[in-house]
Amino acid sequence: MKIKYTLLVAALSVYMSSCNKTNNEATETDENLTEATEETVAEPNAGDEWEQLFNGENFEGWTHVGDGEFVIEEGVLKTTGGMGLLFYNKEKIENATIKLVYKNPGGKNSGVYIRIPEVPTEPWMPVHKGYEVQIDDRGDDYHVTGVLYSFTAAKARPTKADEWNTMEITIRDTNTQVHVNGVLVTDYNEGEPVPERHEEWEPERGPRSSSGYFGLQNHADEDVVYFKEISLKKL
């Protein structure tokens, strides 16, 4: 009887040890799952968020050069006269998407200058050293809304006359894409062939900087264009 009792105790001890080991492994597994879950549910990347660059109240972060001006009416930027440039002065933009919500009644003329290599002191350096993403519904395929002015031909014409339109300009290294109302208008890589320059007001040819300042054009007295949102998402 004593031998059987000893064997029974030994067997029970092995069983309890096995249970403890299983429980410990389960606890470790739960802890690992918790750690993995905590890593998965990390705080969202700041690059996933749109940063509003125009506060609707004043010109904080913006500088105007050249003729004419921008004015703020009920939280909306309005072009007046020209030719001038209102540029974002806080930083150069690289690998990012710029989003603008604009209206150009009658299809009037403005533009968004990108890849400006240095702080502009007048409006013509950005013409020749950066790119103008055109706003003008009346031009031909090389001078119409969404193209790099006189460099690229429009893949589509998705603008809405006399309504608010959304333009998204994505700068990624040497590639520039422009979507208007969700439709691709321009997809250009540095070094691709472009037409010859025909007019003195057209930009000089040549490569552009991978990063640079950006700004909005006020073109002329008769070209009144409105901007109600300007935001940035870094890639």
pLDDT for position 30: 44
Return the amino acid letter for 99: K
Question: Cβ–Cβ contacts within 10 Å for residue 38, how many?
Answer: 9
Q: What is the pTM of this model?
A: 0.80
Structural domains of the chain, count = 2
Q: Are residues 17 and 36 in the same domain?
A: yes
Q: Are residues 186 and 212 in the same domain?
A: yes
pLDDT for position 207: 95
pLDDT for position 48: 66
Strands 69-73, 76-80: pairing kind: antiparallel
Q: Are residues 38 and 52 in the same domain?
A: no
Distance between CA 143 and CA 130 in Å, rounded?
Answer: 16
pLDDT for position 218: 98
Q: Are residues 135 and 187 in the same domain?
A: yes
Give per-residue pLDDT as tens, 158-172: 999 899 999 999 999
Segments of the chain scoring below 70 in pLDDT:
1-48
Residues 6+ away with beta carbon under 8 Å from 106: 161, 162
Q: Are residues 31 and 84 in the same domain?
A: no
The beta strand positions in the chain, using DSSP E, are 51-52, 62-66, 69-73, 76-80, 84-88, 96-103, 110-116, 131-135, 165-172, 175-180, 183-189, 213-218, 226-234
Question: What is the residue range of 163's domain?
Answer: 47-234
Q: Are residues 59 and 36 in the same domain?
A: no
pLDDT for position 97: 98
Whether the CB-CB separation of 108 and 222 falls below 8 Å is answered with yes
Find the helix or strand (DSSP H, E) in which 89 lies.
none
Q: Are residues 139 and 27 in the same domain?
A: no
CA 111 to chain CA centroid, Å, is 16
Q: CATH no. for residue 54?
A: 2.60.120.560
Q: Are residues 85 and 106 in the same domain?
A: yes
Q: Are residues 2 and 51 in the same domain?
A: no
